[in-house]
Amino acid sequence: MSEQRLTILAIGGHVGDMELTAGGVLASHALKGDKIVTLALTAGERGVPAGRDMAEYREQKVREAAAFAEMLGGESIVFDIPDGELANNEEMRYRVCDVIRKVRPNVIVTHFKNSMHKDHMTTHLIVNDARFFAGLGSFKRELPAHFASRLYYAENWEDAVDYKPYIYVDFNQEAYDLWVKAVSQHWFVTGSTSFPYLEYYKHLSRVRGIEARKEYAETFTIPEETMRVLKSEL
């Protein structure tokens, strides 16, 4: 068990984004007794399988988010924003701010700044400002202020432009197995023909683990202004 139980809030543009990119680390922390909460700003329903009703698929995506979180002993939140229509505005910033104040995370994980997907980039901008709003008591909301001291951006094949790993977080076989079982609850992870999601991220976790001289790992970067290594001597 962790000496101090952490709360980790992973915020994605769609259901499945954080489960794939940071899921191994989330599973590892769950096994240590930390609290895991996922927030998807949209369900990601426009990836609906051919011949399926999009509204029904949205409901399925919400159930998949809940199944993943429950397997990690956590909880999931999915906003009712249509996929592809996430607005970069103050209303969304305050909405995410309110979730941060409710969950009170020590750690927030979200998308890197660059992406081939506009919902990912918009999520990045919203989360950065929402974290700022959540931490300031002068922004009066229903709940008291809370500042999440650690902010990480996950590695995602869709967010790859200019992404460079800054932090490697390793995890063991037990966490890997839990992650693979939990993320496989998502249809698109195992059933999509557009991209081999599960195969890609399973291999990536092993490659990053080898680079870190560990079994498995996922990488993250952090806000550029916090990239400091402090030493008193060489």
Total count of domains within the chain: 1
Q: CB within 8 A of 85, min separation 6: which ones?
A: 42
**In-domain check, residue 108:** yes
- DSSP letter at 110 equals E
Q: Which of 82, 172, 123, 57 is nearest to 131 (CA)?
A: 123
Range of the domain at 209: 7-226
Give me the CATH number covering residue 40: 3.40.50.10320
Sheet holding 150-154, edge to edge: 75-81, 35-42, 7-12, 107-110, 150-154, 216-221, 167-171
- Taking the CA atoms of the chain, what radius of gyration do you get in angstroms? 17
**In-domain check, residue 82:** yes
**In-domain check, residue 1:** no
Q: Render pLDDT for 64-85 as a digit per residue (tens, 0 to 9).
A: 999 999 999 999 999 999 999 9
**In-domain check, residue 30:** yes
CA angle 86, 92, 95 (to 5 degrees): 130
- pLDDT computed for residue 21 by the predictor: 98
Query: What's the mean pLDDT in 147-162?
Result: 97
**In-domain check, residue 205:** yes
Q: Render pLDDT for 168-226 as a digit per residue (tens, 0 to 9).
A: 999 999 999 999 999 999 999 999 999 999 999 999 999 999 999 999 999 999 999 99
**In-domain check, residue 234:** no
Structure tokens given for 125: 């901008």
Q: Render pLDDT for 80-132 as a digit per residue (tens, 0 to 9).
A: 999 999 999 999 999 999 999 999 999 999 999 999 999 999 999 999 999 99
**In-domain check, residue 232:** no
Distance CA 62, CA 134 (A): 25
Q: Render pLDDT for 49-60 as a digit per residue (tens, 0 to 9).
A: 888 999 999 999
pTM given for the model: 0.96
Amino acid identity, position 5: R
Structure tokens given for 20: 């794939």
Q: Which of 3, 5, 2, 11 is nearest to 129 (CA)?
A: 11
SS3 at position 126: helix
For residue 170, list its beta bridge partners: 217
**In-domain check, residue 67:** yes
